[in-house]
Amino acid sequence: MATDPPTPGPGLTPGTEVDHFRVMRPLGEGGMAEVYLARDTRLGRKVALKVVKPRALGSPENRERFLFEARATARFSHPHIVTIHAVGEFDGRPYVALEYLEGQTLRERMDQERLRYPEATRVALAVAEALAEAHAAGILHRDLKPANVMLGRDGRVRVLDFGLARALPPGRGAVDDEGDGAERAGDLERSQVEDPFESQHHGVRGTPAYMAPEQWSQAEITEAVDVWALGVLLFELVTGRRPFTAETRVELGAKILGDAPAPAIDPETGVPLELVDLVADCLRKPSAERPDARTVVRRLRDALQQDGEGLDGDESPFRGLLPFDERHQHVFFGRDAEIAGFVERLRTQPVMTVVGTSGAGKSSFVQAGIIPRLRERGPLVVLQLRPGRRPFRSLAGRIVATRRQGGASPGMTVFGVPA
């Protein structure tokens, strides 16, 4: 017997108990769900609580799709895929508790600044590794875009929102026997109306600016749709624009479906040829000609390893008890997570201190890890000194001496204070 859909009601108020999660405040909302910051009262950690909107419950497909997203995300235990902690139902509304991430989406970061190609390559590599993991588990994302990539404050990149995720057909990955329900859930599009080129309600499904030709034509889709979206994302990262632009969706679709190949990145812009070729391969219009995600991962890793001059041929990379310096950055391994987290925190914390026992590797961490990563973002002045008994006077003197060596006038200021 059919029942009337629930009457839309207000969002959850702070203090509301959703099983063992206590709502703290709203974080945002999408087309079919609200997201709240909540605290897990059992474990004490913060979570992002995603709750289906009341008006969305009138459609069994919407409920099923939401649960499919939860099941799809819960398959993974991967550093670059958002972690799901729990799934449940509150007051007749399905919810999912995800790890709470502090940071920015890639879209927000790109709106603030242009990522230089080494940093852009690292972001793309993390996304490609997440896609390779998902494809191996038999799941397509189908809505990969900068807004669905999170740059965590801990320095780790995560792929978010499998709301358009779809199970691959049998024989194309490890698919559950959830059958047609999972397929129907994956076929539903996410509704976002803020941007006319975002995910649509009807017709083609996904975010038009990042959709592959086969998505536009509603042909059979494979893992290649995610590789296309990654190619668009990487093109945009290194050039500051998308490969296909148009005034309307119809015009955009015509360009993507047309016979002309995708625009190429101009090597004269300074982008390494390895990245230029990889983006071109990801944006090949015949899906069969695109590389798979694992191949993209390998090529991005190769591009990172080839970046930089490295050591002279007759110099040993083994330093013994000596610290690594900038010349050794390409043979300085094992601290990537700490470096990424440190550099990301420097965006909001003007002063960071590295402490540790003697011989722990503080100098190597800073010189071969932090400084090269900061140089990737632009010009950098590095001052080195031994602090002595009066460290602040030593630091001030080093700054003044450096400024004077650069031709500054005697009346210059340091941090707004007369030298």
Residues 6+ apart with CB under 8 A from 142: 164, 165, 166, 186, 205, 206, 215, 221, 225, 226
Q: Domain 17-99 adopts which CATH fold?
A: Phosphorylase Kinase; domain 1 (3.30.200)
Q: How many residues does the chain have?
A: 419
Q: Identify the active-site residue in 143, 161, 312, 325.
A: 143
Return d(Cα 188, Cα 164) in angstroms, integer: 7
In this prediction, residue 163 carries a pLDDT of 58
DSSP state of 208: G
Active site residue 143: yes
pLDDT of 98-128, one tens digit each? 999 889 999 999 999 888 888 999 999 999 9
Task: Specify the residue for token string 């702070």.
Answer: 14
Are the C-beta atoms of residues 98 and 150 closer than 8 Å to each other? Answer: no
pLDDT of 6-20, one tens digit each? 333 458 999 999 999
Q: What is the DSSP string of 102-168?
A: -EEEHHHHHHH-PPPHHHHHHHHHHHHHHHHHHHHTTEE-----GGGEEEETTS-EEE---TT-EEP
pLDDT of 312-327, one tens digit each? 556 666 666 677 888 8
Return d(Cα 94, Cα 84) in angstroms, integer: 14
Range of 110-124, 258-272, 281-295 with top mean pLDDT: 281-295
CATH of domain 103-306: 1.10.510.10
pLDDT of 158-211, one tens digit each? 998 875 566 655 555 433 333 333 332 222 222 222 343 444 433 445 789 999
Q: Which structure tokens are listed for 298?
A: 């390998």
pLDDT of 124-144, one tens digit each? 999 999 999 999 988 889 899
Domain spans of the chain, in order of start: 17-99, 103-306, 312-380, 383-419
Helices (H), 217-284: 224-239, 249-257, 273-282
Are the C-beta atoms of residues 209 and 195 closer than 8 Å to each other? Answer: no
